[in-house]
Structure 1
Amino acid sequence: MARSNDEIAALLQEYADLISITGGDAFRTRTYEKAARSIGGYHTDVSKLDAKGLQEIPNVGKSTAEKILEYFSTGTVSAIEKLRAKIPAGVRQLTAIPTLGPKKALVLYEELGISTTEELAEAIHEERLRDLKGFGPKTEENILHGIDLLKSSGDRVLIDVAMSLAEDIVAEMSQVTGCMRCAYAGSLRRLRETIGDIDILVAAKKAAPIMRAFTELPYVSEVIAQGEKKTSIRTDKGLQVDLRVVPPDSWGAAMQYFTGSKAHNIRTREMAVHKKLKLSEYGLFDTETGDKIVSKTEEDVYARLGLPWIPPTLREDRGEIEAGLRDELPELIQEKDIRGDLHTHTDLTDGLAPLEEMVAAAAERGYAYYAVTDHGPDMAMQRMTDERILAQRARVRELDREHGGMRVLHGAELNIDPDGGVDWPPEFLADFDLCVASVHSHFNQDRDALTRRIVKACENPHVHIIGHPTTRLIGKRPAIDVDLDAVFAACARTGTALEINSHPDRLDLRDEDILRAKRHGVKFAVDSDAHAVIHLAYLRYGVGTAQRGWLTKDDVINTWSLTRLRRFLDKG
C-alpha cells in the first residue's frame, strides 16, 4: 500500500499548485510545498499522529495539521475542494504535463480554450502559442517534451510505489491457509524503473481459497477478472495486480516464465524447441511424450536449457543468454556489498533531518563510512555560507570520533554552473573529503555547451563524482541533451565516478547508459541522495539499476574499503 505520508504529500502539493493557479500568495504556496516535502520524508506514519504530533514535523503548522486531520476524518479537505471547484477541469489536466507550470496552463485555457493535451499539441504544431506572452519556440519544445513524458508514463508507477504494494500483498497472501509460497514476479522482480502492473505468484494445491482471499484484500476497489488460474484486481490507487496460482511442483517454471521480459522468454522458449522440449509456466516438457522433465526450481529449468541461473535483473535479452552459454555472466553487485553512502543531505540545506540523525541512521545500516554532502552556495535558495559549512565540518569531525565503527566524511554537492565552474575556489575545496558535482540549472543549453560544462567539471581535481548525470526526473523532466559518450570518456580519463542516483524519481544513470559507460572504463557510485532518514533505504533501487547495467562490486567505488576509496578520491 502507498504510505499515508505520500498520499498527504501529494494532496498538499496539489493545494500549493491550486493556490498558485488562482493567483494566491506565493508565500502560502511555498509553505504548503515545504510541508509536502517534509511529510513525504517523515519517518512516522502521519495517519497515526494527532495535531500535536503533526506539528512536530518540520514545516507543518497548525493550519496544515488541521487539514491533514480533516482528510483522515472525512476523506476530503474543504479548502482544497473549494479551490478545485474554481479551476476548470481542463486546466487541472494540463498541469499534469511535466514542464508546464500551473500559471501557463491557466493562460492556455483562458486565451486559447485549450483543455486537453491533444488540443495543446495541435496548437503548438499550428504555432498558435507564439502570440501569447511568455511562450516561444523553446517553450513549445519543452511542452512537447512534457507531453511525450506524460504519454510514455501512461498508467505506470515508480518502482517504490509498486514495491510497497507488492510487498504488502505478498505478506498478506503468505498468511492465507493453503498458500505454500508467494512472491512477486514480472518487471518488478526485474527492478525496472516504472511498473505497469504487478504480477504475484502463489504456489498452492487449491486455488479457490487463495483467489477469494486475494479479492478480499482491504485495498481492492475492483475485481477485473476472476478465474481458476488467474485473478486480476485494481487497487484503490488505480494499480492493476494479477495473481496466478500454480501447483507447488511448478513453482520454478512459473517464476522463470512470469519474470523474464518478452524478448528473454522468446529466446528461452526457442532454446527449448531446439532441444525438442516445450517450456511453459508449468514446467519443461518433452514434446514427444508430454512428460514433465523439470519444474520445481528456476535453476533446474535453466540448467536443462544449458544455461546457468540468470539473475532476474538481466533477463532483458541484452546478451545474458550468450554470456550464460559462455559461462561469463557477471557476479552482480548486491546491496550487502555497499559499504557507505556518498551523497546525502541534512537540514543545513534542503534535507529534513539534522546531521546527528542522519549519521546515526547510517550507522544503524552497518556502513563502514558515510558522507554528508550538503549543497554549496551557488544554489542561493540553500542559504549556504563558508561559516555554516565550516561549522558543519567541525561537527562532522566530532561525530567521526564518536562513531568509532563508521567513518563520517565531510563533503559537498557542488553546482556545475553554465560554464562548468563549481562553488568555492580550489583552496577551499581541497579541505573536503569528497565532492559531488551536479547540474541543477540551465538545462536548456545546447548539446555542445552542456557537454563542455560537465566535461570541465570532470577535469576539476576536486570533483570526485558527477551527481544524477542526466538530471532527469522520471515522468516529470526529460534528460538533458548531452553527448554522454564524451562525458563517459572524460570520466574514465580523469578518474571521476558517475553516480547512480537511487531516488525512485531519478534512477540516474539509466541502466542503458550504465552499460555504455562501463565500456568506457568508468567507475560508479551508487548513492541514495537521501534528504531524510527514510530515503537511505532507496539504495536498494540504485543497486537494482546497477545490476541491470551489469555492474559488479569492483565497478562501484562505495563497495570498496575506505583505503581504496581514498586512493580513488586522490585524483592527483
Structure 2
Amino acid sequence: MARANEKVEALLQEYADLIAISGGDSFKARAYEKAARAIGGHPADVAGLDVKGLREIPNVGKSIAEKIVEYLGTGHVPDIEARRAAVPAGVRALTAIPGLGPRKALVLYEELGVSSVEQLEQAIHEERLRDLKGFGEQTEQNILHGISVLKKADGRILLGAAMDIAEQIVAEMERVPGCVRCTYAGSLRRMRESIGDVDVLVAADRSAPFMTALAELPLVADVIAHGAKKTSVRTGTGLQVDLRVLPPASWGAGLQYFTGSKAHNIRTRALAVRQGLKLSEYGVFDAESGKSLASETEEEVYARLGLPWIPPTLREDRGEVAAGLKGELPVLVAEGDIRGDLHTHTDLTDGLASLEDMVAAAAARGYAYYAVTDHAPDLAMQRMTEEKILAQREQLRALDRTVRGMRLLHGTELNIGPDGGLDWPDGFLAGFDVCVASVHSHFGQSRAAMTRRFIRACENPHVAVIGHPTTRRIGRRPGVDADFDAVFEACARTGTALEINAHPERLDLGDEDILRAKRYGVKFAVNSDAHATTHLPYLRYGVGTAQRGWLTKDDVINAWPWTRLHRFLRDKRARA
C-alpha cells in the first residue's frame, strides 16, 4: 500500500484551496500549502507519527499536526468538511481548469451563476465575462485554452502516480505461487507523460490465482470485470488496472502486443504480412502453414521480423521500424548513464530538506557530481539575498571536502524576467559553478515577447541550462506561447542546454519538443528539480522522456564525465 503521506498531502492542499476560494486568510492558505508539500516530500511514512513527531517536519505546526492525527485516526476533519460544505461544488470544479484561480472561479459563480465547465464555455462564447472586473478578451482565450488542456487530461493520471500503483501490483503478483514473470505494459511501459489505464501482464500456467489476488488487493476499490483471461479493477484513486495472464511460451509476443502503441503494432503487423507472416499477441506464425516461429521473448519476435529489439519508449511509429531495418536505432540514454543532477533545491528557499540531507541522498545514488541550485532573489517569496547564497556556498565548499567520490557544484536557479533579464549581475553570476535560468511568471506575454525573453537568457554567457522551458504543468497549466524553433536555434548557437525536467508534473521539455530541438543540435540536461530527498528518484521519468525523444548519452550533458561537462560550462562562459 502507498504511504499515508500522499493522502494527507492531498487533504491539506484541498484545505488550502478551499480557504483561498472562500476568501480566507491568504497566509493561512499558504501555510497549508507549505505543510502539504512538506508531508508529500517527507521520506518517512507519517501514519505512525503523533502530534509531536509531525511537528518535527518543517512547516507543520501544532494545529496542522492535530488535524493530520485526527484524519489518520478517523478519516474525517470537521473543519475541512465544514469548508467543503460552504463552497459550492461547481466552484471547486472550475478551479480544476488550468490557469483559472480560486478567486476568479468564485467571481464567476457569484456574478454569473457559472458552476460548471460547460456553463463557463457558454458564457465565454456569449462574451459575458468581459463585463467583469479583472476579465477580458485575453482572459477568455486563456480560460478556453485551459479548458482544452483539462479535457485532454480527463480520466488520465500522471506517469509517476501510475508507476507507483503498477509497481505495487507487480510486486504483489510476483508473490503469487506459479508466477513465472510479471511486469506492466501499455503506455506506462512506453513512459507516456499521462496514463489512461495500467496493463499488467503475468506469465503463468494457471490464471485463476492471479485474478483472485488482484481483486482482493487493499488498493482495489471496485472490480469491473472478473474473468479467466482478463480481470479489470479500479483503484481508490480511480485508475483502471487490467490484468492478463499469458502462457509462458507466449510471453514475448504478448508483451510486445500489449506494450503497443497501436500505431507501432500496425506497422509491425504490416511488416509481417509482407514477409508472409502473421503477428499477434500469441506469436509470429507462418501465414500459410500456421506454424509458430517465435513467441517466447520480445527479442525473438522482433528478430523474426528482421528487426533488432526496439526499446518500448520508441514504439510510437515515429520511424523506429524503418530505423531498425536500416540498423540505425540509437543507443538510448539510460538512467545508469546519468552522472549527476544539475537542478535541485534545499530548505534555504522552497525545498524541504537541508543541504546536508540533499547531498547525502545524492551521494547515495552514486553520482559523480551534484549541483544545488536554490532560487535567486526575483522570486521574492523565497527571500534570497547575496549574503544567504554566499553563506550556502561556504557551507557547500566545506561539505565538498568531506564527501568522497562526488564533486559538489554551487549553482542557482535564476528567474528570467519579462524582458529576459536575470536576478543578479554578471559579475556576481561568475561566482557560480552552474546557472539554470527559468521562467516563473508573466506566462501570458505575447509570442514575440516570450521568444525574445528566452533568447536573451540564452545569450547570457553565465546561463548553462534553460530550466523547464515551456513552463507547463501537465493537466494544470499549459505551456507558454513562444517560437520555440527560434529558441532551439538560439540554444544551439549559444551552447545553452535545454532541461528535461523530470518532475512528473512537468516532464518539460516533452518528447515532441525534444525531437525538434535535437534537429538543431541542442544539448540537454535531465534534472530532477528535487525539492526533497524523495524527489531525486524522479530522474527516471526524465530519462524515460529523453528516450522518447531519441536521445543518446552524447546528447545529455549530465551523462558526461566531469571533465567534458566542465569544458561545456567553461566554453559557454567563453562566448561572452
- Structures share fold, TM-score greater than 0.5: yes
CA distance in 2, matches of 1:24, 1:462: 42
CA distance in 2, matches of 1:182, 1:270: 28
SS of alignment partner, residue 233 of structure 1: strand
Q: Does 1:499 align with 2:503?
A: no
Residue in structure 2 matched with residue 72 of structure 1 by the alignment:
72
Listed one character per residue, the Cα deviations across residues 417-470 of structure 1 (whole Å, up to 9, x for unaligned) are 111111111111111111000111111110111111111111111111000000
| 2:384 partner amino acid | M
| Residue pair 1:253, 1:280 contacting (<8 A) in 2 also | yes
Residues 329-340 of structure 1 mapped to structure 2, 5 A cutoff: 329-340=329-340
Listed one character per residue, the Cα deviations across residues 59-79 of structure 1 (whole Å, up to 9, x for unaligned) are 111111111111111212111
Listed one character per residue, the Cα deviations across residues 480-505 of structure 1 (whole Å, up to 9, x for unaligned) are 00111101111111111000000001
| 2:494 partner amino acid | T
Residue in structure 2 matched with residue 126 of structure 1 by the alignment:
126
Residue in structure 2 matched with residue 33 of structure 1 by the alignment:
33
SS of alignment partner, residue 289 of structure 1: coil
Residue in structure 2 matched with residue 135 of structure 1 by the alignment:
135
SS of alignment partner, residue 327 of structure 2: coil
Listed one character per residue, the Cα deviations across residues 259-315 of structure 1 (whole Å, up to 9, x for unaligned) are 121100000111111122211111111222222111000000000001000000000
CA distance in 1, matches of 2:105, 2:86: 14
CA distance in 2, matches of 1:360, 1:457: 32
Residue in structure 1 matched with residue 90 of structure 2 by the alignment:
90
Q: Does 1:144 align with 2:147?
A: no
| 1:560 partner amino acid | W
Residue in structure 1 matched with residue 315 of structure 2 by the alignment:
315
Greater CA deviation, 92-101 or 370-379?
Answer: 92-101
Q: Does 1:153 align with 2:153?
A: yes
State the shift of 1:180 in Å: 1.2
| 2:193 partner amino acid | E
SS of alignment partner, residue 221 of structure 2: strand
CA distance in 1, matches of 2:5, 2:210: 30
State the shift of 1:226 in Å: 1.5
CA distance in 2, matches of 1:564, 1:24: 52
CA distance in 2, matches of 1:541, 1:63: 36
Residues 135-284 of structure 1 mapped to structure 2, 5 A cutoff: 135-284=135-284
| Residue pair 2:51, 2:69 contacting (<8 A) in 1 also | yes
Residue in structure 2 matched with residue 424 of structure 1 by the alignment:
424
Greater CA deviation, 321-330 or 136-145?
Answer: 136-145
| Residue pair 2:472, 2:478 contacting (<8 A) in 1 also | yes
- Unaligned residue ranges in structure 1 (runs of 5+): none
Residue in structure 1 matched with residue 457 of structure 2 by the alignment:
457
| 1:254 partner amino acid | G
Q: Does 1:383 align with 2:383?
A: yes
State the shift of 1:111 in Å: 1.4
State the shift of 1:506 in Å: 0.3
Residue in structure 1 matched with residue 46 of structure 2 by the alignment:
46
Residue in structure 2 matched with residue 398 of structure 1 by the alignment:
398
| Residue pair 2:35, 2:60 contacting (<8 A) in 1 also | yes
CA distance in 2, matches of 1:379, 1:325: 51
| Residue pair 2:3, 2:47 contacting (<8 A) in 1 also | no
| Residue pair 2:170, 2:200 contacting (<8 A) in 1 also | yes
CA distance in 2, matches of 1:77, 1:100: 27
| 2:556 partner amino acid | V
Residue in structure 2 matched with residue 99 of structure 1 by the alignment:
99
CA distance in 2, matches of 1:38, 1:69: 16
SS of alignment partner, residue 507 of structure 1: coil
Q: Does 1:18 align with 2:18?
A: yes
| 2:135 partner amino acid | F
| Residue pair 2:343, 2:436 contacting (<8 A) in 1 also | yes
CA distance in 2, matches of 1:406, 1:368: 4
Query: Identity across aligned pairs (percent)?
Result: 73
CA distance in 2, matches of 1:3, 1:492: 43
| 2:8 partner amino acid | I
Residue in structure 2 matched with residue 554 of structure 1 by the alignment:
554
SS of alignment partner, residue 435 of structure 1: strand
| Residue pair 1:178, 1:210 contacting (<8 A) in 2 also | no
| Residue pair 2:178, 2:205 contacting (<8 A) in 1 also | yes
Q: Calculate the TM-score normalised by the size of structure 2.
A: 0.98
| Residue pair 1:451, 1:487 contacting (<8 A) in 2 also | yes
CA distance in 2, matches of 1:545, 1:363: 24
State the shift of 1:48 in Å: 2.3
Residue in structure 2 matched with residue 292 of structure 1 by the alignment:
292
CA distance in 1, matches of 2:444, 2:3: 35
Residue in structure 2 matched with residue 304 of structure 1 by the alignment:
304
| Residue pair 2:396, 2:408 contacting (<8 A) in 1 also | yes
| 1:297 partner amino acid | T
Listed one character per residue, the Cα deviations across residues 93-129 of structure 1 (whole Å, up to 9, x for unaligned) are 1121121111211111121111110010010011011
Residues 395-544 of structure 1 mapped to structure 2, 5 A cutoff: 395-544=395-544
SS of alignment partner, residue 431 of structure 2: coil
| Residue pair 1:465, 1:496 contacting (<8 A) in 2 also | yes
| 1:392 partner amino acid | Q
CA distance in 2, matches of 1:2, 1:22: 32
CA distance in 2, matches of 1:22, 1:420: 36
CA distance in 2, matches of 1:99, 1:442: 12
CA distance in 1, matches of 2:76, 2:252: 46
| Residue pair 2:455, 2:490 contacting (<8 A) in 1 also | yes
SS of alignment partner, residue 401 of structure 2: helix
State the shift of 1:4 in Å: 2.0
Listed one character per residue, the Cα deviations across residues 142-166 of structure 1 (whole Å, up to 9, x for unaligned) are 2112111111101100011000000
Residue in structure 2 matched with residue 342 of structure 1 by the alignment:
342
CA distance in 2, matches of 1:293, 1:400: 57
| 1:339 partner amino acid | R
State the shift of 1:2 in Å: 4.6
| 1:317 partner amino acid | D
CA distance in 2, matches of 1:63, 1:153: 35
| 1:369 partner amino acid | Y
Listed one character per residue, the Cα deviations across residues 19-39 of structure 1 (whole Å, up to 9, x for unaligned) are 122222122111111101111
CA distance in 2, matches of 1:366, 1:129: 54
| 1:156 partner amino acid | R
SS of alignment partner, residue 200 of structure 1: strand
| 1:319 partner amino acid | G
| 1:248 partner amino acid | P
CA distance in 2, matches of 1:259, 1:367: 32
| Residue pair 1:94, 1:115 contacting (<8 A) in 2 also | yes
| 1:62 partner amino acid | K
| 1:394 partner amino acid | E
SS of alignment partner, residue 372 of structure 1: strand
| Residue pair 1:369, 1:562 contacting (<8 A) in 2 also | yes
CA distance in 2, matches of 1:101, 1:440: 16
CA distance in 2, matches of 1:250, 1:360: 45
| 1:282 partner amino acid | Y
State the shift of 1:221 in Å: 1.2
Listed one character per residue, the Cα deviations across residues 39-66 of structure 1 (whole Å, up to 9, x for unaligned) are 1111111112222111111111111111
| 2:378 partner amino acid | D
